[in-house]
Structure 1
């Protein structure tokens, strides 16, 4: 299948680490397709050399930035403007069909069957299901589509300032035209959805094929102790949480397969993250036992926070506590 490929994007060395774990997970699950990574000039030469160990092609591309600070401010993610760079994937016309995957995704099994789908096939976004999430999608490279996307981005921009708003507007009939282009959610399972709809995760989670570490905090923002298999993070921000099993899996792959390659090319933990990191981590995320300082919250206040998407996932609304209540109810 030399004319089909999985494609990802790294805009800096941090996302380079994510791409390496993603590529390794695809290799581990015996994909028969080519692996391609697009890299921006911000990715260091050493990181590119490591990426060449995992990917069949490492392609340097120019950064495309929406520079839409107003819309990006609405989602509190100013860094997502550069995700327009993703549009370069349509220029890979030496491939007949591709599956794009964000560098913060992780493959849990072989997913080569996605190449049986047509453009534009994607899973619904957990925040607004009539939109597709652009972390995983099937597409056909095309010079015509590439030029149309560039023109569309210039003339109409994006409703969220990033690639997701742009692509949903461009492929505007996705929600209604062809249900066969709706990928099952297990191909793009978000860590946010796991906790917002725990019963469904309990029912279908074992069938997950791709996990997507959505949100501002990424797996590489944590630290990992390979001896205890404990993932930790030095932060008092409880607004973003990831399933510990998936986090541990990401770090297992990074520690065993990626870190030796980085070390071999002279990339230390500090330089690969782009900043000096202090090894002082106090919150043990792997056990989901982090509890912020006690705070008395009334039932009405707690209900209001839930409705606003501000559940206390690390405290009374933690995975363990919700599961206990579900088990008690079901029993």
Structure 2
């Protein structure tokens, strides 16, 4: 339907690149819906030009900020304040129904069936499943709802300092009212959570339709060698979603970078696609079995951590589920303890 759209948000050039990859992934899977990008005034002209080639509509919006430094500090994510800008999506009243998706998501198959769902449909957050994760949700644009959301922000603020706290507070019966508004996890598979229940990921992970690169380190934070299909970056976070990260970089380097290079011309531009030495990289084994595995390299680095550092990693939700803290290793420890 012409009056239905997928919507995303980019407040700076980094998130704009994420939006470009997201838009391309939807196009590659033959969506029949419109694509809309809400962008902040900080997004550069070259990035805006590329977005306009991928999206049906690119709209510049004012950046809203929760100003809630206390809760954002609690989450160690001061950058999340501007995610309040996401509320602008309710002003897209030329559309009858929309699906909002964060710019750090990647679409793995056609998901047009989401438009059969009602407002507010979303998937559970892996950290607290009675809250929904606001990275993917179905909504109906309405100036009345937009006004009520702003009023709610003024009166109640956000319990986490970001948009997720506001939206869960406003749509506060999501957990209990209507199970049909609970999207399956495969529509918002949190990349850093996929190994916390490894047997389930092995059972259902192949059905994933959307992967969400949660956490502070985003796909564009790494570097990538297009020739060797290798990625450089933090082992700790990258090892948890290596295949998905490789998918993101393959699409970005092949479909987005050429358009960006065309727009930047002679201007300095760092795409993140570089050639690098083995000593600088974390290599991943792709779905096709190309390249060495990151596991040995990750374990070598992890072994250098003290027990106190490992404990801190666990408390921060950053256990090395591909290495020392893998399901098999944990099982061995438990077996030894029980004996």
- Length-normalised TM-score, structure 1: 0.89
Partners of 2:238 and 2:245 within 8 A in 1: no
Whole-Å separation in 2 of the counterparts to 1:296 and 1:22: 36
The 5 Å alignment of 1:54-73 reads: 54-73=54-73
The 5 Å alignment of 1:88-127 reads: 88-127=88-127
Whole-Å separation in 2 of the counterparts to 1:215 and 1:152: 26
User: Which blocks of at least 5 consecutive residues in structure 2 are unaligned?
Assistant: 285-292, 334-339
Whole-Å separation in 2 of the counterparts to 1:189 and 1:269: 37
1:288 is aligned to 2:294: yes
Partners of 1:108 and 1:211 within 8 A in 2: yes
Q: Secondary structure at the match of 1:177?
A: coil
Measured after TM superposition, the shift of residue 198 of structure 1 is 1.1
RMSD: 2.8
Whole-Å separation in 1 of the counterparts to 2:331 and 2:18: 30
Relative contact order, higher structure (CA 8 A, sep 6+): 1
Measured after TM superposition, the shift of residue 270 of structure 1 is 6.4
The 5 Å alignment of 1:107-256 reads: 107-233=107-233, 235=234, 238=236, 241-256=239-254
**Number of matched pairs:** 320
Whole-Å separation in 1 of the counterparts to 2:302 and 2:312: 20
Q: Does the C-alpha gap of structure 1 residues 183 and 319 become closer, same or farther in structure 2, counting only changes over 3 Å?
A: same
CA offsets 1:209-263 (integer angstroms, 9 cap, x no match): 0000000000001111111111111x5x735654111111101110111001000
CA offsets 1:262-283 (integer angstroms, 9 cap, x no match): 001017896467x9x9978723
Q: Secondary structure at the match of 2:9?
A: strand
Measured after TM superposition, the shift of residue 314 of structure 1 is 5.9
- What is residue 83 of structure 2 aligned with on the other side? 83
Partners of 1:191 and 1:241 within 8 A in 2: no
Q: Secondary structure at the match of 2:158?
A: coil
Q: Does the C-alpha gap of structure 1 residues 228 and 304 become closer, same or farther in structure 2, counting only changes over 3 Å?
A: closer
Whole-Å separation in 2 of the counterparts to 1:141 and 1:241: 38
Whole-Å separation in 2 of the counterparts to 1:128 and 1:270: 43
Measured after TM superposition, the shift of residue 313 of structure 1 is 3.9
User: Which blocks of at least 5 consecutive residues in structure 1 are unaligned?
Assistant: 326-331
Whole-Å separation in 2 of the counterparts to 1:75 and 1:267: 39
Whole-Å separation in 2 of the counterparts to 1:24 and 1:180: 29
1:38 is aligned to 2:38: yes
- What is residue 16 of structure 1 aligned with on the other side? 16
